[in-house]
Structure formats: C-alpha cells, structure tokens
Amino acid sequence: MADNAPGGAPLNESDDVPLSRLPDKGRVVCRGRIESVTYVPADQTAAFSAMVSDADPRESGAGAAASPRGRLRVVWLGRRRVPGIDAGTEVRLKGMLSRVDGLPTMFNPRYEILSRQENE
C-alpha cells in the first residue's frame, strides 16, 4: 500500500483494526483471511464479493481459547473477479466501512495479499 498514516508515516501492522472490533463506519485498515468468495451470473450486474474473517484456521482445535470472530463483507463493484482473492488468502484491506444488512461491508477497498494457504 502506498498510502501513509497521518503525519506521513507508512502504515504498519499496529494500524490494523481487528475485524471483531470494527467501528460502524469510517475509514479503516484491517486484515483477515478470505473464507469464501461469491461470483454472480453473467446476466447480472458485475460484482465480486468475499467474506473475510479474522479467525485463524490453526486456532480451530479443541484447546483453542474461544475469541470473538469478526467478519467483514468485501465487494468490488464492476468486477467479476479480483486476481489473487481466493478462499484461504490472507489480506490487508483499506477502505470506507459501512453496515449493510447489519454486516460490516467495504466497497472497492485497496488490498494487499499477505499470504496464501497452500494445498496439502
């Protein structure tokens, strides 16, 4: 990301807001893992959406402490696909947050791919 935090300092991990603590609206920087993507049929208006979760798949074991799981809907309007955005990919997102049907939603965010889950 080329954007800077106030004062011109580069954004870093400490700027990330956990998905479980997102505000109702406003500009945010957050990170999470893509849990699912949705493709629309060719006869509908182009939009590509993904559900992002801050749940780490390694924490799903029986011994893991239960922590609130945040979820975020991300929508790219006018696109049928976004390269690199697939289930299992960890991303950092930056954009304006709003609530749509009670779910935090970000439209056309800037994104940075942090890692991809390898198929075993």
Domain membership of residue 92 (yes or no) is yes
Domain membership of residue 3 (yes or no) is no
Domain membership of residue 7 (yes or no) is no
What's the mean pLDDT in 103-120? 85
| Dihedral pair phi/psi, residue 103, rounded to 5° | -110, 130
Residue with the bigger pLDDT between 94 and 9: it is 94
What's the mean pLDDT in 52-62? 64
How many domains, the chain? Answer: 1
Residue with the bigger pLDDT between 54 and 93: it is 93
Question: Which pLDDT value is given to residue 65?
Answer: 53
Q: What is the pTM of this model?
A: 0.75
pLDDT at 62 over 50: no
Q: Please provide the size of the chain in residues.
A: 120
Domain membership of residue 84 (yes or no) is yes
Domain membership of residue 61 (yes or no) is no
| Dihedral pair phi/psi, residue 98, rounded to 5° | -140, 175
CATH no. for residue 47? 2.40.50.140
| Token pair in block for residue 118 | 């390898």
pLDDT at 23 over 70: yes
| Residues 42, 21: Cα–Cα separation, whole Å | 36
Residue-number span of the structural domain to which 42 is assigned: 15-55+69-115
The full 3-state SS of the chain, as one line of letters, equals: CCCECHHHCECCHHHCECHHHCCCCEEEEEEEEEEEEECCCCCCCCEEEEEEECCCHHHHCCCCCCCCCCEEEEEEECCCCCCCCCCCCEEEEEEEEEEECCEEEEECCEEEEEECCCCC
Cα angle 48, 49, 50 (rounded to 5 degrees) comes to 135
